[in-house]
């Protein structure tokens, strides 16, 4: 009987452009696709609630796609090395193929798996695919690690493999006997309470097929105006591919290749397409930073921020921020978009994050943890790097003294208040002039719009002038 190869699907929940799967199918006998739900390996950070919802749907989609190829998905839960050791013994596997992860926890888990398999004389092969480039490939001319985005991307974008990604295999050789699998529904991924994710489900379709459709839709339309429109949250001008990328339902190489192909065929999208590809560069940059500086998951990249006097103030303020009840409409709209859809527009992420760390002076860890729990696209590297960027303590960060003013940001990027009206319906009847600053509106305007501050909509939870002065004083304290 031909010996089986286990293909481990962890951060790569797809069949196309999955080098580990393709290598197993092409070069070996029977293939056993496996997913380990691992919350036990050292340093693994349990998924947030929104990511669990996504994973539940994504695993089912992957299983159905595998079944269409004559295969199946074996699901186990526990420590990855222990689970694979058991499976290897059960099926007599002679190889384990996997896609490489780049977080510190993934690196540790892969090391432990490799050592276990080596002892058993089982081949362990690791493939790339979650990133465009392996972190070891992108170094400065003097062989150091990049910490600034622009030179990083100048070098990295020249090194990208632009060849056509591999399609999904049409058939996957099955073993004579399948090992047992836990039910996907038994992994404890369902939201509690069950109806919690209903609004999220209305917005998203997890899975590889849906990811490809979303890319096609984006390249057929919004990409053309991406450069100008991407900062305006009321428009659907961005790709919304982030959760599909986070779960590896589509490869970044597919995005790269398809965008370039469309750009070559249609001059009108060249500028938008190039800008879109540059955003993928930020995803690479975050992953490369975390890989090279694993400490950044808990420590600021700029050492002086170790001494920053983060406030330990009123937790009611953080709750107001989480619930979208700050009295600053653009922030409230963003935080409610996050809660209702599991996603928030990038511009509003920046404004809302700035408010937490600079106006409320809360530690960026607090915001990072909330986003981790509530984002369907929660990505360890992107989330940490972005929070450090906003907090001013990251490698190539926005300077701390640059504090977003939520009112002027709202007026600039949501002029007519379309986004605010969508997510903060109690302000829907406010005139454009006051939609971003209801607390400045005259009494008669408020009355006409049916708004009673402090009752139907909160008064601003802080005095921004004082908050700004406190933030700048805090910054000065670490400079001295
Ligand atoms: C405080 C904060 C936290 C964030 N947390 C996350 C997170 O957990 N997961 C996540 O994927 N992104 C995160 N981002 C980055 C960014 O907001 C999202 O990637 C983007 O909004 C996703 O929407 P999209 O797919 O429509 O992006 P598009 O504009 O269509 O961009 C295409 C892809 O490029 C990547 N990308 C775009 N912008 C960035 C960026 N600034 N940094 C890194 N990658 C980027 C994403 O993979 C995205 O899907 C965060 C940003 C901030 C300010």
Pocket perturbation via mutation, ligand 1, pick of 377, 384, 391 by most ligand atoms within 8 A of CB: 377
The pLDDT score that the predictor gives to residue 27 is 80
- Written out in words, the top-level CATH class of the domain with range 5-130 is alpha beta
* Half-sphere exposure (Cβ direction) of 362: Cα atoms closer than 13 Å: 24
Q: Is the pLDDT of residue 300 over 80?
A: yes
Check whether 411 has a pLDDT greater than 60.
yes
Q: Would you say residue 400 has pLDDT above 70?
A: yes
Give the tens place of pLDDT for each residue, 112-137.
Answer: 999 999 999 999 999 999 999 999 99
**Separation CA 378–CA 187 (nearest Å):** 19
Q: What is the Cα–Cα distance from 252 to 283, expressed in whole angstroms?
A: 10
Q: Hey, which residues are catalytic here?
A: 279, 282, 310, 346, 364, 387
Fold of 131-162+208-292: 1.25.40
Which residue minimizes the CA distance to atom 43 of ligand 1?
283
317-365: per-residue pLDDT in tens?
999 999 999 999 999 999 999 999 999 999 999 999 999 999 999 999 9
Percent of the chain residues past pLDDT 70, beyond the cut: 99
CA 128 / ligand 1 centre spacing (Å): 21
Contact 81, 111 (CB under 8 A): no
Determine the Cα–Cα distance for residues 118 and 453; give it in Å rounded to an integer: 66
DSSP-derived 3-state class of residue 132 = coil
Give the residue, by CA position, lying nearest to ligand 1 atom 16: 346
Give the Å distance between the CA of 6 and the centre of ligand 1: 32
Look at residue 296 in the predicted model and tell me its pLDDT: 96
CA of 281 to the centre of ligand 1 (A): 11
* Torsion, CA 252, CA 256, CA 261, CA 262, rounded to 10: 90
Rounded Cα–Cα distance for residues 47 and 55 (Å): 9
The closest alpha carbon to 93, from 110, 71, 117, 69, belongs to: 117
Q: Which two tokens stand for residue 52?
A: 């669990």
Domain 303-479 has CATH 1.10.8.60: no
pLDDT in tens, 51-62: 999 999 999 999
Q: pTM of this prediction? A: 0.97
Residue 159: φ, ψ to 5°: -95, -5
pLDDT in tens, 141-186: 999 999 999 999 999 999 998 889 999 999 999 999 999 999 999 9
Between β-strands 74-77 and 31-37, what pairing exists: parallel, antiparallel or unpaired?
A: parallel
SS3 98: strand
Instruction: Measure the CA–CA gap between 190 and 446, rounded to whole angstroms.
Output: 42
Q: Which stretch of DSSP H or E encloses residue 97?
A: strand 95-99
CA nearest ligand 1 atom 30, residue: 239
CA of 310 to the centre of ligand 1 (A): 25
At residue 480, the pLDDT reads: 65
Contact call for residues 297 and 104 (beta carbons, < 8 A): yes
Q: In whole angstroms, what is the distance from residue 43 CA to residue 129 CA? A: 23
Is 172 exposed, middle or buried, given 0-12, 13-18 or 19+ CB atoms closer than 10 A?
Answer: buried
Q: How does DSSP classify residue 11?
A: S
Report the pocket of ligand 1 as residue ranges, CB < 6 Å.
230, 238-242, 245-246, 279-280, 282-283, 286, 346, 349-350, 353, 371, 375, 377-379, 382-383, 386-387, 390
Place 396 in a pLDDT band, splitting at 50, 70 and 90.
confident
Q: Whose CA is nearest to atom 36 of ligand 1?
A: 279
- What pLDDT, on the 0 to 100 scale, is given for residue 395? 83
- The answer to whether the beta carbons of residues 225 and 272 sit under 8 Å apart is yes
pLDDT (tens digit per residue) in 279-299 = 999 999 999 999 999 999 999
Identify the bridge partners of residue 33 per DSSP, sorted by sequence position.
7
The ligand 1 atom at the shortest distance from the C-alpha of residue 380 is 8
Residue ranges of the domains in the chain? 5-130, 131-162+208-292, 303-479
Q: How far is the CA of 345 from the centre of ligand 1 (A)?
A: 8
């Amino acid at each position: 009987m031909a010996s089986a190869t286990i293909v481990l699907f962890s951060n790569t929940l797809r069949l196309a452009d999955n080098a580990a799967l393709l290598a197993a199918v092409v070069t070996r006998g029977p293939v056993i696709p496996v997913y380990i739900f691992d919350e036990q390996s050292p340093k693994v950070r349990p998924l947030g609630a929104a990511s669990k919802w996504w994973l539940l749907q994504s695993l089912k989609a992957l299983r159905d796609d595998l079944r269409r190829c004559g295969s199946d998905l074996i699901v186990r839960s526990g420590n990855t090395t222990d689970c694979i050791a058991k499976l290897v013994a059960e099926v007599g596997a002679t190889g384990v193929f996997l896609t490489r992860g780049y977080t510190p926890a993934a690196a540790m888990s892969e090391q432990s798996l490799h050592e276990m398999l080596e002892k058993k004389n089982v081949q362990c092969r690791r493939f790339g695919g979650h990133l465009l480039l392996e972190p070891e490939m992108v170094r400065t001319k003097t062989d150091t690690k990049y910490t600034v985005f622009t030179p990083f991307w100048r070098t990295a974008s020249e090194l990208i493999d632009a060849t056509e990604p591999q399609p999904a295999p049409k058939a996957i050789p099955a073993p004579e006997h399948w090992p047992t699998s836990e039910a996907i529904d038994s992994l404890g991924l369902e939201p509690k309470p069950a109806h919690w994710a209903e609004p999220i489900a209305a917005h998203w379709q997890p899975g590889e097929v849906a990811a490809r459709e979303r890319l096609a839709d984006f390249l057929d339309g919004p990409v053309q105006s991406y450069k100008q429109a991407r900062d305006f949250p009321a428009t659907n001008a961005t790709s919304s591919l982030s959760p599909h990328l986070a779960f590896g339902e589509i490869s970044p190489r597919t995005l790269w290749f398809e965008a370039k192909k469309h750009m070559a065929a249609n001059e009108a999208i060249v500028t938008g397409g190039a800008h879109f590809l540059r955003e993928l560069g930020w995803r690479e940059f975050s992953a490369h930073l975390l890989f090279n500086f694993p400490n950044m998951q808990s420590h600021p990249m700029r050492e002086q921020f170790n001494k920053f006097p983060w406030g330990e103030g009123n937790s009611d303020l953080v709750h107001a921020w989480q619930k979208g009840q700050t009295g600053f409409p653009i922030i409230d709209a963003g935080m409610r978009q996050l809660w209702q859809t599991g996603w928030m527009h990038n511009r509003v992420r920046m404004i809302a994050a700035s408010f937490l760390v600079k106006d409320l002076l809360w530690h960026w860890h607090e915001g990072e943890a909330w986003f981790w729990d509530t984002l369907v696209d929660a990505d360890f590297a992107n989330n940490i790097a972005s929070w450090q960027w906003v907090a001013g303590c990251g490698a190539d960060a926005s300077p701390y003294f640059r504090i977003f003013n939520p009112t002027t940001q709202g007026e600039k990027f949501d002029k007519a208040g379309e986004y605010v009206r969508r997510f903060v319906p109690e302000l829907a009847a406010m005139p454009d002039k006051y939609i971003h600053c209801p607390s400045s509106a005259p009494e008669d305007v408020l009355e006409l719009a049916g708004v009673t501050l402090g009752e139907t909509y909160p008064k601003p939870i802080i005095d921004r002038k004082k908050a700004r002065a406190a933030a700048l004083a805090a910054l000065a304290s670490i400079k001295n």
